[in-house]
Structure 1
Amino acid sequence: MKQLSQIYLLLLLVTGLTGCATASYYGQAVSGHFGLIMAGEPVDQLIAEDGTSADLKQKLMLSQQARAFARDVLALPVDDAFTEFVHLDRPWVVVNLVAVPEFSLRPHRWCYPVLGCQAYRGYFDLDDARLEQRKFDRRGYDTFIGGVTAYSTLGWFDDPLHSGFTDLAQGRMVALMFHELAHRVLYIEGDTAFNESFATAVELEGLKLWSTRSGDPDLFERALQRLRQRNQTLALVQATASQLDTLYAQHGQLPDPALRERKSELLAQLAQDYVTLSAQWSQPGPLGTRPEGLNNARIALFRQYNQYVPGFRQLLRDQGGQFPAFYQAVERLSRLPERQRSARLAELSERFEEDL
């Protein structure tokens, strides 16, 4: 009943919005999530059924252990999240569209009720995303559509578990559950870096405790390795972005063909530098094995995440590792103006050192 009443409220919100395109977009969002909810089967029931494969049954049992751990050890607001399971017919649950002008790294922003403005637009149907993408392509924008393994409704709904989770390795599934549940604690409109860094910090610290208690410390080490790879990739991306910003500042002074040629050279060099760097890694990197189609949209999207993870992890340490106190400290931090909270997180990050 809770789910249906909230969907009804969202439907009222959608019908109150002006513009056919706006109503159409929110309609697909509501119907897509409603369809996901209605397709769910109780996890406990699937675990008990003989027809459930042994592999899926094992993953489902693990998910419920992780869910209890998130509630009892990490003090996350679990409610009834992840108590239903949905088998998806695709490897992603939604896709996100990013659109950025040809000679800029400032993405187009869409604004939403509750969530605020974001540099991406999510779709349950790939064809709908491509239809919107073509509108920006005709305007000469760089665009990118990427699949999203999971998303959070920030506690508005009891989000289901789905095959996007259970298709992952065990450690990554548990980490993703912690990450998505962390979004239910706190969310700042329009501040992706804050929101994602916080959730990633909870994911890492939660996985660290989980690894210790499960007797598999490699789970945490592999997660740290993925974060290091992302940070190393981000350093490459930031260096290229700085060069692109300098180049784009000459728009209107240099002819467009010359700008395009130099832009292409910089992006090709970024791809080559990434291939060289990632050759040392034992796990696939965040841009895959050999990145193709690098453009302003992919760079703009990649730069939004995780720069404050060390700061949040230090803030947890400052609270003696007590998660309820940590969430209170994060809530106080969220009330500061953006410049002040960014400065505070930067100062916390400088104090952070990884335990060896």
Structure 2
Amino acid sequence: MIKKASWGIIILITILIITFWETLAYGVRQAKGQLAITLNTQPIEEVLLDSTVADSIKQKIRVVQEARVFSFDQLGLERSSNYTSYYDQKGEVALWNLSASKPFALEPYTWSFPILGSFPYKGFFDPERAKIEMDELKAEDYDVRVRPVSGWSTLGWTSDPILSNMLERPEGALAELIIHELTHSTLFVKDNIEFNENLASFIGEKGAVLFLNEKYGKNSASYFEYIIGEEDHRTFRDQMLLATRKLDSLYKSFDESVSDSLKSVKKHILIDQIMNSTDTLHFHDPRYYQIFHSGRPNNAYFMSYLRYYSSKDSLEALLVDQYDNDLKLFIEGMKAFHE
């Protein structure tokens, strides 16, 4: 009886390993990549005392420290040991993000992971692995996008370090990134990435404005630089959100009589119009006019704007109408609602 039960367990485990082998292998690779970073971090106290580290890097690390304390004390985000260590990327990209969408619908390809749930993107520490999976999705006619990631949250599984490439950002954008990621480690709703990313983006931006105002004041260069940058970002993302609505309307107009080749032609014509429309917008930073010079965006690109910014107006209305424009109360309300 015992031997039969033992064989039954062995057979069951074998079946599970075979069934979930790809997911298990991916999990092991990700754990190794994260561990390689974790084992090569330095406490920020050591970095700040190191005479070989540039003063510009130390200054940005202090900004991260201040933004972190501000997030805990003034915004009520969950206290953690995140961003108390430093990882030198030596100018290299640490993580790559892969996302995909159907070619004639704004519907993401999703990956499911035990415990964590479903995600419309997938991270890779090895760019070659990202390319292999990207090519596989392309072969299945998905629109795909691979991009470098400048920061991410492990949701409490490890203590997230300051990545050296983060420090290339201006102070306001750096504070926004830290607040964004600390929002993820405070509140993360399973199987609802669009809510999670919209919320973190919204709190990150609002929190950065409050942080810069407290640290420097509204008449400071840092505050002004961030506000001007946000104006450009808002102008561009609003145009991209308008583009998603136009693309969605086009795709929904297709019926079974429309061939894929005709769909592709109409899709490319509309995307070309969207690309050219940026010339009609006003930006303080002329680099926005060059965004599409490297190639035509696809559905995976446009989906990212829905994922991060589609709920901005509704979150803004909620903040003003129900929380009297008090970001800390707003965050408390979000946590209470999703407990």
Q: How would you bin the TM-score normalised by the shorter chain? A: 0.7 to 0.9
Cα offset for 1:38? 0.8
Aligned to 1:267: 271
Specify the code of the residue in structure 2 equivalent to 1:180: E
In 1, the alpha carbon distance for the partners of 2:212 and 2:243 equals 36
1:103 and 1:251 in contact (8 A); partners too:
no
Q: Say if 2:333 is the partner of 1:329.
A: yes
2:201 and 2:308 in contact (8 A); partners too:
no
In 2, the alpha carbon distance for the partners of 1:242 and 1:324 equals 32
Specify the code of the residue in structure 2 equivalent to 1:329: G
Map of 1:111-260 to 2, 5 A cutoff?
111-217=112-218, 218-249=221-252, 250-260=254-264
Unpaired runs of at least 5, structure 2? 1-15
In 2, the alpha carbon distance for the partners of 1:242 and 1:320 equals 31
In 2, the alpha carbon distance for the partners of 1:241 and 1:214 equals 37
Cα offset for 1:287? 8.2
Question: CA 1:17–1:63 in 2, change beyond 3 Å: closer, same or farther?
Answer: farther
In 2, the alpha carbon distance for the partners of 1:291 and 1:246 equals 26
User: Greater relative contact order (Cα 8 A, min sep 6): structure 1 or 2?
Assistant: 2
Cα offset for 1:20? 2.5
In 2, the alpha carbon distance for the partners of 1:98 and 1:287 equals 23
TM-score after normalising by structure 1 = 0.80
In 1, the alpha carbon distance for the partners of 2:117 and 2:22 equals 18
Unpaired runs of at least 5, structure 1? 1-14, 336-356
Q: Say if 2:301 is the partner of 1:298.
A: yes
2:95 and 2:125 in contact (8 A); partners too:
yes
Aligned to 2:283: 280
SS of the residue corresponding to residue 153 of structure 1 reads: coil
SS of the residue corresponding to residue 99 of structure 1 reads: strand
Bigger helix fraction:
2
In 2, the alpha carbon distance for the partners of 1:27 and 1:326 equals 37
Q: Say if 2:313 is the partner of 1:307.
A: no
Question: CA 1:280–1:145 in 2, change beyond 3 Å: closer, same or farther?
Answer: same
Question: CA 1:310–1:270 in 2, change beyond 3 Å: closer, same or farther?
Answer: closer
TM-score after normalising by structure 2 = 0.83
In 1, the alpha carbon distance for the partners of 2:292 and 2:133 equals 28
Cα offset for 1:313? 4.7
2:109 and 2:120 in contact (8 A); partners too:
yes
Q: Which runs of 4+ in 1 moved over 6 A?
A: none
Question: CA 1:288–1:91 in 2, change beyond 3 Å: closer, same or farther?
Answer: farther
Question: What is the percent sequence identity of the aligned residues?
Answer: 23
Q: Kindly tell me the number of residue pairs found equivalent between the two proteins.
A: 320
In 1, the alpha carbon distance for the partners of 2:227 and 2:18 equals 43
1:137 and 1:143 in contact (8 A); partners too:
yes
Aligned to 1:341: none
2:177 and 2:204 in contact (8 A); partners too:
yes
Q: Say if 2:54 is the partner of 1:50.
A: no
Cα offset for 1:289? 6.1
Question: CA 1:201–1:111 in 2, change beyond 3 Å: closer, same or farther?
Answer: same
